[in-house]
Structure 1
Amino acid sequence: MALVESLTIGTVLVSQELMGLVNYHGHLCPELAIGYRVSRIAMNSLHITRENSLDFIAGAANSSSAVDAIQYLTGCTIGKQNFFIEDVGKHVYFFVKKPLDAPNNKGLFIKMKTPVYYPRLTDCVMDQNVEINSLTREQILKYRAVIDQAIGKILHRADNSLFDIHFADFGKEFFYRDTRWFN
């Protein structure tokens, strides 16, 4: 039996790693794709793994599906108390290695650039009809095609075209500043 390197969901080609995330979350959506990309950047930049996740703290400025991706892939979770959410509706994330007061401890900040992705992919009437399940088959296919196109862009664009990514000084006072980290 041959190993499958990638699979297709709708019209989007996904890796086995992303397919595992989709199975966990329940569906593939643009926010999940954003969380997948953010997680991969953090994992590659800071060498975060599920096995060493307790050595890190992560945070998100939203409570979208991206949060599921970060918890599933990095192992930083709300339950382990090393993942924090301050929901202000922004795709802004941070990751930092513990201890926070270590000399030269640089945290990784990832902020989604706009306008790369709009949650309202089609017209408002279409979105409302999706919510109340009153679409025709043709409308559903059109809606899914627009979502697949957004997901494809999120999955295949270069990191720096989707996100502002930078390292910044990090310390215990980070959580107590008057200025918010997600601005």
Structure 2
Amino acid sequence: MAIISPEQIQAAIDFHGHHCPGLTIGIRAAELCLKHVGHNRQVAVTAVVETDMCGVDAIQFLTGCTFGKGNLIHLDHGKMAFRFYCTDTNQALRAFYDPPAELTANKNPDSNDLLKREALCRAIMEAPLDILFRVEEISVPSPRSAVILESLACEACTEKTMESRTRRFGGRTLCIPCFNQVEQKVLE
């Protein structure tokens, strides 16, 4: 039995807005999570994505991890790597997308051709997971749960800002954009 149904795949495509190889990679990464860690409805799952590519939408949609709940974390490492943690059991894995050359769009000069892209998506969907990803169990503790902190008014723009995202400058509490403006003036 398939872990992800065709209907769920189509819903992920609809959520993202189009079907592409990047989304397909995310679908397969989500499949790894569901197979080895579980879905956020059954267990406490946290996903850490090391990329901002299309596949993150599939991971969000199919695993139930979201930025808003604080259990989808983006690390801007520019790698097609995905970590999945079950915080109930401390089980964790890291999957790095490392397929053979024929399953990579950037090594395929015709990857912008729609038919070639569809063929690449199909090939990624049909390939065994262990061909697509280098998977390792990891013993790194899961990221801490999201913490709700007090909101403070920025003393420059007056907008409420989560306390951990404010900066102190010249005895004033500032939001990050206002702090950056003041800091730029000091550096000039």
Q: TM-score, normalised by structure 2?
A: 0.66
Matched to 1:153, the amino acid is A
86, 96, 102: which one aligns with 1:97? 86
1:117 aligns with 2:89: no
Matched to 2:116, the amino acid is V
Aligned-partner Cα distance in 2 for 1:106–1:79: 23
1:40 aligns with 2:10: no
Q: Which has the higher contact order (CA 8 A, sep 6+)?
A: 1
Spell out the pairing of 1:162-173 with structure 2 (5 A cutoff).
162-171=132-141
1:148 aligns with 2:137: no
Aligned-partner Cα distance in 2 for 1:173–1:45: 18
Aligned-partner Cα distance in 2 for 1:106–1:56: 10
SS, match of residue 76 in structure 2: coil
Q: CA deviation at 1:120?
A: 6.5
8 A Cα contact 1:106 1:170, kept in partner = no
Aligned-partner Cα distance in 2 for 1:36–1:173: 23
Q: Which blocks of at least 5 consecutive residues in structure 1 are unaligned? A: 1-13, 128-142, 175-183
SS, match of residue 60 in structure 2: helix
Q: CA deviation at 1:118?
A: 2.6
Partner residue in 2 for 1:20: 11
8 A Cα contact 2:37 2:45, kept in partner = no
Aligned-partner Cα distance in 2 for 1:166–1:58: 15
Deviation by residue 1:92-133 (Cα, 9 ceiling, x = unmatched):
00011125xx6xx2311111114331347436xx96xxxxxx
SS, match of residue 169 in structure 1: coil
Spell out the pairing of 1:19-98 with structure 2 (5 A cutoff).
19-49=10-40, 51-52=41-42, 55-98=44-87
SS, match of residue 120 in structure 2: helix
Q: TM-score, normalised by structure 1?
A: 0.67
CA RMSD across the alignment: 2.4
Aligned-partner Cα distance in 1 for 2:34–2:142: 22
8 A Cα contact 1:94 1:109, kept in partner = yes
Q: Which blocks of at least 5 consecutive residues in structure 2 are unaligned? A: 145-188
Deviation by residue 1:116-175 (Cα, 9 ceiling, x = unmatched):
31347436xx96xxxxxxxxxxxxxxx10110111111100001111011212122689x
SS, match of residue 105 in structure 2: coil
Q: CA deviation at 1:88?
A: 2.3
What is the number of equivalent residue pairs in this alignment?
Answer: 138
Aligned-partner Cα distance in 2 for 1:173–1:27: 31
Q: CA 1:33 to 1:173, structure 2 compared with 1: closer, same or farther past 3 Å?
A: closer
8 A Cα contact 1:96 1:170, kept in partner = no
